[in-house]
Amino acid sequence: MSTAHTPLIAVTMGDGAGVGPEVIVGALLDESVTARCRPIVLGDVARLRRAAEVTGSRVEVVAVDSVAESVFAFGRINVIDPGLLPPDLPWGEVSPVAGDAAYQYVRLASELALRGEVRGICTAPLNKEALHAAGHLYPGHTELLAQLTGTEEVSMMLSTPKVKVVHVTTHIGLIDAVERIEPGLVERTVLRGYRAIRGSGVSAPRIGVCGINPHAGENGLFGYREEEGKIVPAVEKLRSDGVDVHGPLPADTAFFLASRGDYDLIVAMYHDQGHAPVKLLGIEAGVNVTVGLPVIRTSVDHGTAFDIAGTGKADVDSMIEALNQAAELSAAV
């Protein structure tokens, strides 16, 4: 199958002391990935070659200076290598050098995206302790990419084969989350998810919006009518603009309805409301998607796994799924 018109995806290697190099090598030898996108790795050539050795993979790792120089063929990995890692970097240990390199790979990928040279970014895991030790004080990839691309507001979308969910709030306490939710934020979050789903090929997405309280407040029986003040105005505005959106829905049934196909996207109000059912319904193939950036970004659903780094035992399924979904969603950019 010709890949000449498949999207170009920048793949950041993450922390070189972790499993990122191994899962990248394994995923880029999967035919479903190479049929759907053209990946360019931002990383370290020597480290990726070591990863190929420990995983027993037959692959050609080639240094290139630019996206334009890349040649796409099965069994070949194109790498833009800024030369940041020492050859004797140990596996499985926190290193400021590796933390800085992980930051630089993301920075370079962001520059490629802003210049329009790639359509998506897929990130292997970085280590937050190493990142901070290198002086890059970000909670993670999402906040880092938002700053690098000059994006004021982004949303987290978790995507599985059964259900996709976008979050109005994420890593804040529950009381703070309820306080932060307001109609404008709900509307913007729905629209970010709506555009991402449309970009994946669903022409008229059906969207279910969760309530905040049990039973979505049940007409004021639970809570202090947060649904009426914080969610209903956004739903009404979106529907008047032609978006097929429904809610507020009781969260305990919304995900069941989505899993049987009633909705293409569920909008969760806070972290655990969205994460718990998604992990139950499809954690083995779950992918973290950042929507709202000028480029689609997907990520594996695991960390650097220092305990098994360099052993060849890392599971590549999440990276395969992340790359495939980056290819699928990148048309939304």
Predicted confidence at residue 282, as pLDDT, reads 62
> What angle, rounded to 10 degrees, do the helices at 271-282 and 251-259 form?
30
Predicted confidence at residue 332, as pLDDT, reads 47
| Alpha carbon distance 46, 60 (integer Å) | 11
Determine contact, residues 122/322, Cβ cutoff 8 Å: yes
8-151+293-332 and 155-281: identical CATH topology: yes
Query: How is the chain split into domains, by residue range?
Result: 8-151+293-332, 155-281
| Alpha carbon distance 269, 181 (integer Å) | 8
Handedness of CA 326, 252, 257, 270 (dihedral sign): negative
User: Taking the chain (333 residues) in consecutive chunks of 10 residues, what is each chunk's mean pLDDT?
Assistant: 78 98 97 95 98 97 97 97 97 98 98 95 96 93 92 90 90 93 98 90 94 88 90 98 97 92 96 88 74 90 92 94 88 49
Predicted confidence at residue 1, as pLDDT, reads 43
Predicted confidence at residue 285, as pLDDT, reads 63
Written as one string, the DSSP assignment of 146-192 is HHHTT-S--EEEEE-SS-EEEESS-SS-HHHHHHH--HHHHHHHHHH
Close Cβ partners of 45 (under 8 Å, ≥ 6 residues apart): 61, 62, 63, 79, 81
Predicted confidence at residue 91, as pLDDT, reads 98
| Alpha carbon distance 133, 123 (integer Å) | 20
Q: Is 8-151+293-332 assigned to CATH 3.40.718.10? A: yes
Nearest to 319 by CA among 16, 33, 15: 33
- Report CA-CA distances (Å) from 315 to 44, 97, 121: 20, 25, 20
Class of domain 155-281: alpha beta
List strand residue ranges (DSSP E) for the chain, in order.
8-12, 38-42, 60-63, 76-80, 120-123, 155-159, 164-167, 206-210, 244-249, 265-268, 287-291, 296-299
| Alpha carbon distance 155, 194 (integer Å) | 12
